[in-house]
Structure 1
């Protein structure tokens, strides 16, 4: 008992600011439990600078989250409300700044409105630097029916109309699985949420597919994933730095355009292109931008990016590029077309390519592919008019799912990139869903040290390059490389 007491004494002897720092690292549920220790701990919990209340963390102990029933979600939502109200009620108005107030909840009954009013009241009485809403639905995207997303849209609109004070102070808002009967709802969100820095939509739509003009003075990041708003025109976003635009399968052409986005640095585009989808010409899309990072995902199907011959316009668009990531390229096709990026981006420093077929996410049945208008030929042909060009800034080449047929491609990049320092060649990526499936093709990744030595000699034969070639398994993925793997 003496030893235990001495440990408690040492913890209690710490100053308040250190203990508050410790509590800030806990989730709200754990931090709130410390208030039962003593009056001092009750006082400390009222000083927290980070209040992150997530309904997902209030799962009943007898239930695993993926199998939570509707009654469980109701209970989780109710706990999130009590957590939000309880933590805010302990605070003395104006005494301590809340650096982050983040709430994640489900659209269900009156619970969201209760949270909205509690957050709105907090904004009126406390200094809050960042306020976030993550609005979830009972059903996940793939489970939602048309009626579901219409009902969820109506529920959100009711919440939005009743909690204008809370929404007006939000700096981050994430919405999923909503369909709005009125086409101006999304515009009204932008008008009301004047402090937004981040806005994210997943599987959201409007009744009429009209052009959505996005204008906002504060937005720095925006994400549209599997949405149907009509054409999205980023008309005036003076602080926008990042955009994610994924899955425009319902549209023949990419329904996205840029207006005044002077600070735009990173663009992510992902689509599963069918045979009738038009190719995307980056020199047109990115004209008048200064994009430094470009992440393009092809979802193991048709290449939808149009290779372009070097022109003054293309050189102007690609000159700011420093990082390019081409993700989920279908297997077995010539990669020569990607060279056009190197030719047009003389300041490119990092080039990442992931080539992979993913059976558990692909349509494999020939009849289903025919009826779904999937492309029989997924690759694209392109011949460089300047085959002997030199690149002086590329220092890093990363290829995931490297196979022996890519040898000539890697050699070409190594020959062109005279200052290349590192070439990272990864084995085929693992997938727990595909583990029990028969591989579409046997891997030709060099399996042993001897094979890798032979492959390294083949890659460098007659090439003067200082690049270090590393063969790595998927278990050895570096943290900075893992970030290039788009979800």
Structure 2
């Protein structure tokens, strides 16, 4: 009986080794494919899988350097269909941060142009490592288009004034710590952020390449007046804002303007147009009454 057990165990080990060898052979066959095909495969993978591949395989790690488009969305790291608890949210956010830290360092070693870099992440303290990774990437590799979509851990409808101010302070910490990262952005989307008037100006001054700005539930305080000047901005979207008025002072390249779900007061104009010579498309959607003043150009 003992000898039979030994024989059976040996047979099992041999079978396992054979299966492992077959898997290795299969991996070797995949690795022998041309770079362009493997890069095509990488582009179809989720960021979490790409990050894992960059860790376990030198060949795949090399290929991450050659990718010309990188987009990482925190939603790809949700375990299950949604985030239901703070613990799950923290775990999701940390996973996204770790993926960026794994993928971008290898990308930084490449001299190839990165056509598009897009990252969607939570506005949480650990996310500063995402911004730092991008900040470093901006020094080592040419990035044509760069986008941050910064969301909050609390849904917009549940954010209090204190939450929005905390979000604003955290955002400014990111901007001040990594001006190169924000300076290379062409697209920026912010959610539930309250900034001081000077902070808004500082963000726009830092984001010198910004072409598209989306403000969702953002303001400089209730009934505040926001003055916007930027040489490159071509698209501006303001949604669900508590601002009294937005003054478009100097936007020589602005072509698209969208304002939605905005409840302006009855005594002030919600928009003031100054120098916007290229404006082509204007979308306005807000709840109001006949008592509200009409939109005017100054």
Q: TM-score, normalised to structure 2's length?
A: 0.83
Q: 1:80 aligns with which of 96, 100, 124?
A: 96
Q: What is the Cα deviation at residue 57 of structure 1?
A: 1.2
Q: 1:213 to 1:51 in 2, by over 3 A?
A: same
Assess, with a 3 A threshold, how the Cα gap between structure 1 residues 82 and 37 changes in structure 2: closer, same or farther. Answer: closer
Q: Secondary structure at the match of 2:95?
A: helix
Give the match's secondary structure for 1:205: coil
Is 1:28 the counterpart of 2:47? The answer is yes
Q: State which of 109, 113, 128 in structure 2 corresponds to 1:93.
A: 109
In terms of fraction of residues, the more helix-rich structure is 2
Residues 1:226 and 2:240 aligned together: yes
Corresponding residue for 1:49? 68
Cα distance per residue 1:153-206 (max 9 Å; x no partner)? 2222222222222111111111111122x2221111111100101111111121
Residue among 184, 187, 190 paired with 1:175:
190
1:212 partnered with 2:226:
yes
Instruction: Indicate conservation of the 8 Å contact 2:226/2:246, yes or no.
Output: yes
| Matched-pair contact (CA < 8 Å) for 1:246–1:269 | yes
User: Closer, same or farther in 2 for the Cα pair 1:203/1:6, shift >3 Å?
Assistant: same
Give the whole-Å Cα distance in 1 for the aligned partners of 2:139 and 2:58. 27
Root mean square deviation of aligned Cα: 2.7
Match of residue 151 from structure 2: 136
| CA drift at 1:240 | 1.4
Conserved 8 A contact 2:54-2:102: no
Does 2:90 match 1:104?
A: no
Bigger Cα displacement from structure 2, 229-238 vs 7-16:
7-16
Match of 2:265 in 1: 251
Alignment partners' CA distance in 2, 1:106 and 1:112: 7
Could you say if the C-alpha distance between residues 112 and 190 of structure 1 is closer, same or farther in structure 2, counting changes exceeding 3 Å? same
Write out aligned runs for 1:458-473 (5 A): none
Distance, in Å, in 2 between the alignment partners of 1:187 and 1:10 is 55
Distance 2:248 2:198 in 1: 16
Q: Does 1:17 align with 2:36?
A: yes
Structure with more contact order per residue of length (Cα contacts < 8 Å, sep ≥ 6): 2
Bigger radius of gyration: 1
Q: How many residues are paired up?
A: 278
Contact 1:98–1:126 (8 Å) recurs in 2: yes
CA displacement at 1:125 relative to structure 2: 1.3
1:45-68 per-residue CA deviation (whole Å, 9 max, x = no partner) reads 22222221211211124xx31x43
TM-score (norm 1): 0.52
Q: Which runs of 5+ in 1 are unaligned?
A: 288-487
Structure 1 SS opposite 2:213: strand
CA distance in 2, matches of 1:89, 1:36: 11
Q: Output one character per residue of 1:229-252: Cα deviation in whole Å (capped at 9) or x when no partner.
A: 332122221221211111231422
Where structure 2 has 5 or more consecutive residues not aligned to the other structure, the ranges are 1-18
CA contact (8 A) 2:236 2:257 kept: yes
